[in-house]
Amino acid sequence: MTDRTALVAAARDTIAKGSQSFAAASRLFAPAMRERAWLLYSWCRAADDMTDGQELGHGATIDSSSTAVQGRLEALTWAAFDGDEAVPLPFAALRQVVRETAMPRGFIADHLAGFALDAADWRPRDQDDLLRYCYHVAGSVGCMMAVVMGVSPNDEETLDRACDLGLAFQLANIARDIVPDALVGRCYLPSHWLALHGLREDALADPANRLAVAAMAGRLVSLARPYRRSARVGAARLPFRARLAVLSADGIYGAIGKQVAELGGQAWDQRVRVSGAGKLGHVCLAVIRGLRRPADVSRAGLWTRPGQS
């Protein structure tokens, strides 16, 4: 069995290469919490890469054997969750997190369901479908991260707020990646939205359609805003360093969405990123926000994860 030190070292390397934004935010956690966040990220990254046929989030391809890949992903995940048999490092990392926290099985199952949707080449029909997908691929991770940060698995209201931040992150990701996704045969825009603009998904990468694509990207960014505001209420309940990490990540992903919306049709000329100086600015802003009590924003009208009222 791989010892914890080796797992943490491998996970640290994975997040450094796979997500500069999450890596930057994770530095604000207390050491033990930071390591658990890295371990959880390691499994999430590996699962995503397996599903998309990519490496550290790059070079995605649609694999004709996706059903077999999904089966292997689920088998390795549950072997890690339930037993002691040897598994690849990212799955051993998940096992370590599960053993150090009260991580509910349901959140892991919900996250796997998101990969199953991608493996099945699924498409959303409407906004509710879109938000349900965002829950599976990112909101469930928000819930798991909340548990890593010490939130009780029974604290449903705070977990809903954590889920909200995951939804907001994923909406920003989808907006940023509309054209790159289209180039590899993926589309996460609801078919109803496409119909309103008279577009088929195979036309999304055509530069002639950039204004329509930009309008839908702007709609995604606008949709994310109330979920970001809701998430700040939950962040205020976290330990101070965890609160800073969450608020910093919120600021960075909010800035990504804002840039996509402001660039309009030019948003896909190159990948939208936040500079190192920009990330530092969002950390400083997070300190200010973290010292203030956020507005008590209601969740009324927001999409709510399955099984909750």
> What interhelical angle do 240-263 and 210-235 show, nearest 10?
160
Confidence band for 56, pLDDT divided at 50, 70 and 90 = low
| Percentage of residues in the chain having pLDDT higher than 70 | 95
Q: Are 257 and 175 in contact (CB under 8 A)?
A: yes
Per-residue pLDDT of 223-277, as tens digits, reads 999 999 999 999 999 999 999 999 999 999 999 999 999 999 999 999 999 998 9
How much is the pLDDT for 102? 87
Residues 106-159: pLDDT tens digits? Answer: 999 999 999 999 988 999 999 999 999 999 999 999 999 999 999 999 999 999
* CA–CA distance, 244 with 101 (Å, rounded to integer): 21
The residue extents of the domains of the chain are: 1-103+112-119, 123-304
CA dist 140 and 135 (Å) reads 6
Give 65-86 pLDDT, tens digit per residue: 678 889 999 999 999 999 999 9
CATH architecture of 123-304: Orthogonal Bundle (1.10)
Burial of 86 (0-12, 13-18, 19+ CB in 10 A): exposed
Q: What does the DSSP 8-state code read for residue 237? A: T
Question: What count of Cα atoms within 13 Å lies in the side-chain half-sphere of residue 197?
Answer: 21
Q: Please provide the average confidence, as pLDDT, over all residues in the chain.
A: 92
Instruction: Decide: 47 and 54 in contact? Cβ < 8 Å.
Output: no
